[in-house]
Structure 1
Amino acid sequence: MEKWALITGASSGIGAELAKLYAKRGYGVVLVARRTEKLTELALKLETPTRIISCDLRDRESAKELYDMVYDLNVEIVVNNAGFGAVGRFEQIDLDRQLDMIDLNCTAVAAITYMFLKDFRYRDCGAILNVASSAGLMPGGPNMAMYYATKAFVVSLTNAINDELKTSNSNVKISALCPGPVDTEFNDVAGVSFGLKGISAKYCAMCAAYGLDHGERIIIPERSIKLLRTAAKLSPERAALRITGYAQKHKSGDLGG
């Protein structure tokens, strides 16, 4: 039976690169995003069977509909990559925008993980990659408060499920990808800049697939982010918050991923 990889947020960046990677591995690829034209462009470049699904995962019902639409496929890999962030003081960012962030970054990830995990558990095979961020490893992110909180949710959820799988001797894998800055089209358009040099989306995708293959619970592509994570653990929480807040305060716009 043909094997498939399902990737949300597949229209650009990490999602698109993971689609290319799994296509080269012989997977059929389900491309999920809101921008149909971008998905079509990508599908034409992939020398593998593809299925394009345009949906807005901020709508809770869309996650259920997505699952139903691929029920006939032998999905072995699920990548929860769709997400976004907004920069600014918490009370200055539109409330609906922030609630949308929770719906996409948290609710959709939880729903998709839940539905496919039940299938994977039954078959005792399959892998789920939840794309979080190095933001999810920090105690908080002043000037990106909601984004950091949503990514911490993804890390926490993935950590717990990973332990449940291991303690029950399951062959199913789940990992959280926690990169630092990644050079993506979305960030360029939004005019977002970072203090640290970003890695390429292609390199990030390669690290993600390797980590998922090897059952890594938390996948951190960059050594600098690993060091930053260690420093944050050793620093008083207030000091870590101030450092993070300083790094965010010169940003503006929205972040994808």
Structure 2
Amino acid sequence: MKALITGATSGIGKAIAQELSRRGVSLILTGRNENALLQMQETLPVHTEIIALDLAENQAPFTLYEFCKNKHVDILVNNAGFGVFGEFTETALQEELELLQVNVRALHILTKLFLRDFKKRNFGRILNVASSAGFLTGPLFSSYYASKNYVVRLSLAIAEELRREKSRVTISILCPGPVDTGFNDRAGVQ
């Protein structure tokens, strides 16, 4: 089996990469930090390919899919994401647009492209990392909470479509609460 993990260099993505490698799953890892990816590639006990990309860039999700499409990916873990903290009228618009590119647009694109491949094979697993925030409103984190609500609702709708088709393809959502990762540093929260 082979898994693609986005946002793989720290936090939940790194933990998922470590766990899957312990189970013998080959990996394709992506993230913005090429040095961290190289270090993971050297230390993980399975065949690991890396591609450094910033999923906030328009073409990045398509570049990632092209890199992977002939490598027989069985599991897609859409983990990349970040938050922006502050009052909605005060937060930087450009930073929020990048958040939407990563948390919503890139996840949407990768889910659609890999799901098409998985459905053709009638096998594959998608894990979309959302958050407990996906079920709540989030003053001072409004864009982040809204983006995770999108992930939850999209994933649930796709799961129902797959259930109706009696497909062997699955989609799941991981919805953790606060986790001690680099998330708060990037979001500007103490």
Partner of 1:152: 149
- TM-score of the two chains, using structure 2 as the length reference: 0.96
| In 1: Cα distance, 2:132 partner to 2:54 partner | 25
The reply to whether residue 180 of structure 1 matches residue 177 of structure 2 is yes
Q: How much is the aligned-residue C-alpha RMSD, in angstroms?
A: 1.4
Partner of 2:13: 15
SS of residue paired to 2:83: strand
Shift of 1:254: 5.6
Aligned partners of 2:82 and 2:183 also within 8 Å: no
1:62–1:126 CA distance, 2 compared to 1 (3 A): same
Shift of 1:186: 4.0
1:48 aligns with one of 43, 46, 49:
46
Q: Deviations over 1:222-256 (max 9, x none)?
A: xxxxxxxxxxxxxxxxxxxxxxxxxxxxxx7169x
| In 2: Cα distance, 1:18 partner to 1:172 partner | 20
Partner of 1:166: 163
| In 2: Cα distance, 1:116 partner to 1:108 partner | 12
Percent identity between the aligned chains? 44
- TM-score of the two chains, using structure 1 as the length reference: 0.72
Partner of 1:207: none
| In 2: Cα distance, 1:167 partner to 1:81 partner | 26
Aligned partners of 1:32 and 1:53 also within 8 Å: yes
1:88 aligns with one of 86, 89, 94:
86
Q: Deviations over 1:60-96 (max 9, x none)?
A: 3111111111122110000000000011100100001
Q: Which has the larger radius of gyration?
A: 1
Question: Runs of 5+ in structure 2 lacking a partner?
Answer: none
SS of residue paired to 1:85: coil
Shift of 1:153: 0.3
Aligned partners of 1:125 and 1:171 also within 8 Å: yes
Question: Runs of 5+ in structure 1 lacking a partner?
Answer: 191-251
| In 2: Cα distance, 1:180 partner to 1:186 partner | 12
Partner of 1:36: 34
Q: Deviations over 1:136-171 (max 9, x none)?
A: 011x11111111100000000000000000011001
Partner of 1:63: 61
Aligned partners of 2:32 and 2:53 also within 8 Å: yes
The reply to whether residue 127 of structure 1 matches residue 62 of structure 2 is no
SS of residue paired to 2:172: strand
Aligned partners of 1:84 and 1:254 also within 8 Å: no
The reply to whether residue 253 of structure 1 matches residue 184 of structure 2 is no
How many pairs were matched up? 190
